[in-house]
Amino acid sequence: MHKNKPHVYFRTPLKLIFSLLLLCLLLVAPSAVDAQESGGESGAPAQVATVTPNDVNEIAKELWCPLCSGVRLDACELKACEQMRDMIAEQLAEGQGKQEIKDYFIAQYGPQVLGEPPLEGFNWLAWILPFAALIGGGVFVWRNTRRMVSASPKEAPATAQTVADDEYSQRLEEELKRYD
């Protein structure tokens, strides 16, 4: 009786939670895409008339100062960076989009303005290897664990599930059990 109760109680909330989470995901996913699209559209053509420092920084934020290391173009105080920001302003005024400006910067100063390895050639390795290592490590751990799991006796003794940190917390777990 004591054991059956949780079954009745907890199944519904769990289902509810999962459906709520699912609902959240469904609602969120398209809206996130929307936000991105509208951001992309409003970026270029709307501000042809007056280019504010804000518009410039919007793009400079995604570029890295080629003269410094690890300094974003919008925060860089070198005169060279100031001129680069002027360049962005000029290109924005000409009606160019974010991607065009970024491409121009790559052509002029090289891929190091991106702050990340471009997806081409040898640089693919930068992106692939961490995930390959992670998956490889995961498989290694999983295989070793599986050997252990399948080798261990299936019906673990009832008390074993609460073998705890030490003497005290074992007692604590027992107390907890008593009060459930």
Partner 1 sequence: MIFDIGHLILLTALILSAFGILAGYLGGRWRNTRLIQSSFNAVYAVAVLVFAATVILWYGLLTDAFQLSYVWNHSERALSAFYKFSALWGGQAGSLLFWCMILSGYSAVVAISNRNRHQALMPYVNAMMLVSSLFFLTLLVFATDPFKRVGFVPPDGQGLNPLLQNFWMIIHPVMLYLGYVGMAVPFAFAVGALISKRLGNEWVHTVRRWTLIPWMFLSAGIIMGSQWAYMELGWGGYWAWDPVENASFLPWLTGTAFLHSIVIQEQRGILKVWNVVLIWLTYFLVILGTFTTRSGIIESVHSFARSDVGPYFLAYLIIILFGFLWLLFDRLPLLRGEHSIDSYTSREAAFLANNWLFAGIAFATLWGTFFPMFSEILTGDRISVAAPFFNKVNGPLFLLLLLLMGVAPLLGWRHTTLAAFRKQFTFPLIAGAIVGLLVFIFARSLYPVIGLSICGFVTATIVQEYVRGAMARRATTGENALVAVANLWRRNGRRYGGYIVHLGIVMIGVAVIGNEFYQQSLSVTLARGESATIGRYELVYNGMTSERQSNRIEFNALIDAFNLDSGRKVGAITPQRNIYDKTPDMPTSEVGLHMTPFEDVYVVLNGWESGGATATFTIYINPLTMWMWVGGIVLVLGTMIAAWPHPTQRRSETVRSLAYATGDD
Partner 2 sequence: MTELTGADPNVLTASEAEIAAQARRRSVRIWQSVFVLILLGFVGLLVARLIQTNQSEHRASGQAPPFTFTTFEGETISLADLQGKGVVLNFWASWCAPCRDEAALLEAMWRREKDNGIVFIGLDYLDQEPAAKAYLAEFDVTYPNGPDLQSAAARRYGIKGVPETFFIDPQGNIQQMVIGPIVSQAQMDAYLDKIRP
DSSP letter, residue 73: G
Compute the least distance from the CB of residue 1 to partner 1, in Å. 13
Residues 42, 68, 90, 95: which binds partner 1 (CB under 8 A)?
68
Asked if 95 touches partner 2 (CB under 8 A), the answer is no
Asked if 160 touches partner 1 (CB under 8 A), the answer is yes
Angle 79-93/98-109 helices, nearest 10 degrees?
140
Asked if 107 touches partner 1 (CB under 8 A), the answer is no
Asked if 110 touches partner 1 (CB under 8 A), the answer is yes
Compute the least distance from the CB of residue 166 to partner 1, in Å. 7
DSSP calls for 102-151:
HHHHHHHH-GGGGSS--SSGGGHHHHHHHHHHHHHHHHHHHHHHHHHHHH
Reading the block at residue 81, the tokens are 């960076």
Residues 52-91 within binding reach of partner 2 (CB under 8 A):
66-67, 78-80, 82-84, 86-87, 90
Asked if 22 touches partner 1 (CB under 8 A), the answer is no
Asked if 102 touches partner 1 (CB under 8 A), the answer is no
Asked if 31 touches partner 1 (CB under 8 A), the answer is yes
The number of residues that bind partner 1 (CB under 8 A) is 79
Report the C-alpha gap between 163 and 149 in whole angstroms: 17
Backbone angles phi, psi at 64, to 5 degrees: -115, 140
Report the C-alpha gap between 79 and 86 in whole angstroms: 10
> Amino acid letter at 37?
E
> Amino acid letter at 141?
V
Q: Which residues lie closer than 8 Å to 162 by C-beta, 6 or more apart? A: 170, 173, 174, 177
Asked if 100 touches partner 2 (CB under 8 A), the answer is no
Residue 64 near which of partner 2, partner 1, none (CB within 5-8 Å, type-dependent): partner 1
Quick one: 78 or 135, whose CB is closer to partner 2? 78
Compute the least distance from the CB of residue 67 to partner 2, in Å. 6
